[in-house]
Structure 1
């Protein structure tokens, strides 16, 4: 089936959102889709976008973990003029072709600060003579809101505009109602896809990662505490003092900061930039130490490697903590809080985690491919409905 698809994605601090969006886009392309990815931030250089047509929207990010402000990449607060330009760019990009599918990553189950842009885009799509299938792509766990009305608004938006809600999770492990109090209202739209991983690749050559402690931080924008503790934890560990520790620094961390981390590394600790072969390193590793972002946890589940999680928990973030605790409940990880993290506490967590066995449990994967299958079926149904 030939079709056109438009994916809107906005990552603010970490890179997991754009990784998932790209993976789904590539899966749609394999199904015959002409896929455009409209990104509201810089796509990381380690991410292969393959056949996707990339549209660079006026870029913004969050300056901190509060997610209460949006700023340009230069750190300037966005204003009404910027917002108008962003809305215009999105609608022009979507209007460049007769798209059959509109997929928004996270919104409306997050990214409410982009409502100034996305509600006009959704209204534009709904007003078309032949409206596209409108779907949203969300991760396994949502960030809980202090104000219940915000979560009710999410359900209202989904019911008003959306045909499908794709949840990239294994329902035997985590379900929408675990983190969303209005799940029952939207359950008729929901399909679970399994975790959305990247393309299958042959194992990279080399022995990097073999019996190592692999420390990672995703993009790295909010991982200073973890990285500083990891650089000093090796000699304090009873079970891992003999191992090489490989600390991977994300590309959101500046070159100056990266140089300082590298110069601070003691003997037996390798500091380098994040690598495309990270999943292969984990398969060979003795242990993973990381935050608990979606894509990192997915790589850990696939590798079966025991893990230490230091969940990102600044401001009102609950998502990583809930994901980390779920894995700890299944005997897959040890969790230690981010607040007040010290090398001694991290080393103790490493020792506890190394007492865990490697896992051979197969979590439901293939989320990108299953998402594409679901969306193509939805497109076929819509096409039949619109045919005379």
Structure 2
């Protein structure tokens, strides 16, 4: 049973496009539960197959997300966006009032999630003005940020101002030897808020026994919401290979149903092609495959590193989304995987890249993977420092 004396940490997570933010946040929440009573505000759809840590209390807000045009959309068939936003505000206000958090951990904002500021900033203000004392407010941040927005300088300057105004710390879930916040964040004025690079966050796993690799190519795209082009192109590229290669495609829980049905039609009757909607453990899937073809989100990249599978990544990229490309290029530069730019995702170039992949042996990527526990320990130490030595605690505004 959890100790009743544990301080409360309120964790806000708004995953909008895929499942990477949620998967990382759940892994972090599991580690945090050793120091805190963790209350988790879940702002997006909870997909099937994603394990929820047993040690946390979860509050599911009416789910919102972003379409590919970066417009907020409701994922709740009962509520439109305005009504969902109003109900979310009520639930968030109630959670702060009821839990009286000692720590408020906000995922990504203000470095992203600008369109959710209307609920995040009031939540922070409420947590900072509690009668029993202000909560320690921290940002949980991935390794590499998008830095290709048309208004990038304004975005970075705004994020710097909001961080210095409202946050006591920024925890960057990256190995500082691989990627630092300043590599993709360039405000005109230096940020005053303390930054801690924790190491990478991965889900806790039991030690796995070695398994023999199969002969198939595993194809995946995280949650799958933007994986359709990769899946269809992989099927077309397979026909161009010198020798047939079995494919196992894990579509992901968020691949839209019409695209899932079209994929089934395209693969119908094709020998050696297996379609799966979702799997409980992607690392185990990778370890059983001859090679992997995927995108390069945060969690997928770390799964590839942990699995040690020969991997070809085609990073998801748009005019304003370049985070995956940066990560893929860094890992390819270490010899940990091969990278095919998204602009080359056509059947013939992909077939050539797969032929190279089948002869590729990855080098181990020496990344710090203990970020979940180090983040939890660091936040607990900051909170303790605030209680025992106010002059050593983070500055508040």
- Which whole-Å CA distance do the structure 2 matches of 1:47 and 1:113 have between them? 25
Q: 1:84 to 1:77 in 2, by over 3 A?
A: closer
* TM-score normalized by the length of structure 2: 0.89
Aligned residue in 1 for 2:334 = 330
- Which whole-Å CA distance do the structure 1 matches of 2:353 and 2:188 have between them? 35
Deviation at 1:77, TM superposition (A): 6.1
Deviates more, 1:101-110 or 1:195-204: 195-204
Q: Pick the aligned partner of 1:251 from 233, 242, 253.
A: 253
Report the secondary structure of 1:215's partner residue: strand
- Which whole-Å CA distance do the structure 1 matches of 2:368 and 2:141 have between them? 16
Aligned residue in 2 for 1:89 = 91
Deviation at 1:255, TM superposition (A): 4.5
- Which whole-Å CA distance do the structure 2 matches of 1:277 and 1:71 have between them? 29
- Work out whether residues 100 and 127 of structure 2, in 8 Å CA contact, stay in contact via their aligned partners in 1: no
Q: 1:37 to 1:204 in 2, by over 3 A?
A: farther
Deviation at 1:283, TM superposition (A): 2.3
- Which whole-Å CA distance do the structure 2 matches of 1:279 and 1:288 have between them? 11
Q: 1:78 to 1:188 in 2, by over 3 A?
A: closer
- Which whole-Å CA distance do the structure 1 matches of 2:158 and 2:189 have between them? 14
* TM-score normalized by the length of structure 1: 0.91
- Which whole-Å CA distance do the structure 2 matches of 1:48 and 1:183 have between them? 41
Aligned residue in 2 for 1:103 = 105
Aligned residue in 1 for 2:169 = 164
Q: Pick the aligned partner of 1:365 from 364, 369, 389.
A: 369
Deviation at 1:311, TM superposition (A): 1.2
Q: Pick the aligned partner of 2:386 from 347, 365, 382.
A: 382
Deviation at 1:337, TM superposition (A): 2.9
- Work out whether residues 5 and 101 of structure 1, in 8 Å CA contact, stay in contact via their aligned partners in 2: yes
Deviation at 1:218, TM superposition (A): 0.8
Following superposition of structure 1 onto structure 2, how do residues 107-186 of structure 1 map, counting pairs within 5 Å?
Answer: 107-129=109-131, 130-144=133-147, 145-147=149-151, 148-182=153-187, 185-186=190-191
Q: Pick the aligned partner of 2:240 from 236, 242, 249.
A: 236
Q: What are the Cα deviations for residues 255-300 of structure 1, in whole angstroms up to 9, with x where unaligned?
A: 5543432343221121112211210121232221111111000101
- Work out whether residues 100 and 130 of structure 2, in 8 Å CA contact, stay in contact via their aligned partners in 1: no
Query: What's the RMSD between the two structures over aligned residues?
Result: 2.3
Report the secondary structure of 2:123's partner residue: helix
Aligned residue in 2 for 1:276 = 280
Aligned residue in 1 for 2:51 = 48
- Work out whether residues 108 and 158 of structure 1, in 8 Å CA contact, stay in contact via their aligned partners in 2: yes
- Which whole-Å CA distance do the structure 1 matches of 2:211 and 2:163 have between them? 47
Q: 1:371 to 1:59 in 2, by over 3 A?
A: same
Report the secondary structure of 2:237's partner residue: helix
- Which whole-Å CA distance do the structure 2 matches of 1:219 and 1:83 have between them? 24
- Which whole-Å CA distance do the structure 1 matches of 2:64 and 2:255 have between them? 17
Deviation at 1:164, TM superposition (A): 1.3
Aligned residue in 1 for 2:394 = none
Deviation at 1:360, TM superposition (A): 2.8
Deviation at 1:225, TM superposition (A): 0.7
Deviation at 1:319, TM superposition (A): 0.5
Deviation at 1:375, TM superposition (A): 0.8
- Which whole-Å CA distance do the structure 2 matches of 1:212 and 1:344 have between them? 19
- Work out whether residues 35 and 380 of structure 2, in 8 Å CA contact, stay in contact via their aligned partners in 1: no
- Which whole-Å CA distance do the structure 2 matches of 1:2 and 1:73 have between them? 34
Q: What are the Cα deviations for residues 113-133 of structure 1, in whole angstroms up to 9, with x where unaligned?
A: 111111111111111131111
Report the secondary structure of 2:140's partner residue: strand
Specify every segment of 5 or more residues in structure 1 that has no aligned partner in the other structure, as ranges: none
Aligned residue in 2 for 1:32 = 35
- Which whole-Å CA distance do the structure 2 matches of 1:224 and 1:358 have between them? 26
Specify every segment of 5 or more residues in structure 2 that has no aligned partner in the other structure, as ranges: 392-397
Report the secondary structure of 1:37's partner residue: strand
Report the secondary structure of 1:186's partner residue: coil
Q: What are the Cα deviations for residues 219-271 of structure 1, in whole angstroms up to 9, with x where unaligned?
A: 11111110101122223234xx3542211011012455434323432211211
